[in-house]
Amino acid sequence: MVDRNQQPLVSVLTPLYNGEQHVRQCIEAVRAQTYSHWEHIIVNNCSTDNSLRIAEEYAAREPRIRLHTNREFVGAIANHNIALRYVSEASRYIKFAHADDWLFPECIERMVQLAENNPSVGLVGAYRLHENFVSINGLPYPSTVVPGRAVARAVLLGKFDAFGSFNSTMLRADLVRQKTPFFNESNIHADTEACYHILQNADYGFVHQVLTFTRSHEASVSSSLSTLNTNLLGRLFLLLRYGPVFLNEEELRVRKTECLNRYYAFLGKNALKMREKSFWKHHIDGLAKLGMTLNRPRLCASALVEGIRLCFNVPRMRRVLESQFAVGKKRPNLSFPEHFP
């Protein structure tokens, strides 16, 4: 085995907030890595459960674990930026390990090996186990390294999903240090935005192995975001931000049309579901941040098309009606005209 001091230092970062149920498993997974030269930085974001006590327990007996507690509560993305401030100057790579997820034993070793063999690589990905299925569309086997701009272009065009969350990737530290703050705290999809940023000037590496586990549960940020389907707005934001960087004008025009068509189809479905005001406020505000307004005639047309489709799909119509008028479900206290934007 290679001596620890001869290995590049990897900073493993865990932003932590009320993660008592899973953080122990996360920390144990880091300690079980076959790669030994790491530091584990845990940033407690004013947790109100037993998360801090659990982290203190490990930090007391493992010198490679460093624990920091924020003086005041901050947003999830802001806490990621705070964690980056504690990365050692000697660190060559940065690996996030989210408190409710974990890393397989060979994760860091395999990712470092690929990055060390390919100095042009700034972002390393791998397959992930998302609950009980493998996700992330990786590079065609046996390809392991491709130009970053080619990958960013393919993702923007919707050809595949190469990124996942930062629990699934590893970053070259010197590229992260070039941008402060690294994460855009106004974008809930800041991790994907950061990938595009890095791939402007660095290559993408991929390990053809399942190296991380991502959990889905009601308390997770990803679960709450899926209810609003923030991915659609997020993709539109990223397309407008990085499309001009990676795509030509015609590709950008076509892709923007496709994204808007999909977005309004989604809104049309939700108009029939009589969504609450908070749902519409989220999307109206999101469009405003992109310099756009909600196109009500287009929304009405999408709702009409969806209604016609429902008429010819009896099982689906039954499910929609049952979900809206289920026994014991609180009905909306708004009339349809008020509910509809």
Question: Is 123 contained in some domain?
Answer: yes
Residues 117 and 158 in one domain: yes
Rounded to two decimals, what is the model's pTM? Answer: 0.85
Residues 121 and 75 in one domain: yes
Q: Which long-range contacts (CB under 8 A, 24 or more apart) does 63-72 make?
A: 64/38, 64/39, 64/40, 65/27, 65/39, 65/40, 66/39, 66/40, 66/41, 66/42, 67/42, 68/41, 68/42, 68/43, 68/44, 69/43, 69/44, 70/43, 70/44, 70/45, 70/46, 72/46
Question: Is 243 contained in some domain?
Answer: no
CA pair distance 219, 248, nearest whole angstrom = 40
Residues 200 and 97 in one domain: yes
Question: SS3 of 126, please?
Answer: strand
Question: Is 232 contained in some domain?
Answer: no
Which residue type sits at 10? V
Range of the domain at 307: 248-339
CATH of the domain at 44: 3.90.550.10
Residues 61 and 199 in one domain: yes
Residues 195 and 319 in one domain: no
Question: Is 231 contained in some domain?
Answer: no
Question: Is 276 contained in some domain?
Answer: yes
Residues 161 and 217 in one domain: yes
Residues 151 and 257 in one domain: no
Residues 205 and 307 in one domain: no
Distance, C-alpha 291 to centroid of its chain: 23
Report the number of distinct structural domains present in the chain: 2
Residues 90 and 151 in one domain: yes
Residues 82 and 196 in one domain: yes
Q: What residues pair up with 206 in beta bridges, in sequence order?
A: 125
Question: Is 236 contained in some domain?
Answer: no
Give me the tens of pLDDT residue by residue for the chain, a chain 341 residues long.
Answer: 456 668 999 999 999 999 999 999 999 999 999 999 999 999 999 999 999 999 999 999 999 999 999 999 999 999 999 999 999 999 999 999 999 999 999 999 999 999 999 999 999 999 999 888 887 777 788 889 999 999 999 999 988 887 888 899 999 999 999 999 999 998 888 999 999 999 999 999 999 999 999 987 554 454 455 556 778 888 899 999 999 999 999 999 999 999 999 999 999 988 888 888 888 998 999 999 999 999 999 999 999 988 888 777 656 555 655 555 554 445 444 433 344 44
**Integer angstrom CA distances of residue 102 from 81, 118, 213, 294:** 20, 26, 5, 40
The candidate with the shortest Cα–Cα distance to 324, out of 247, 287, 271, is: 271
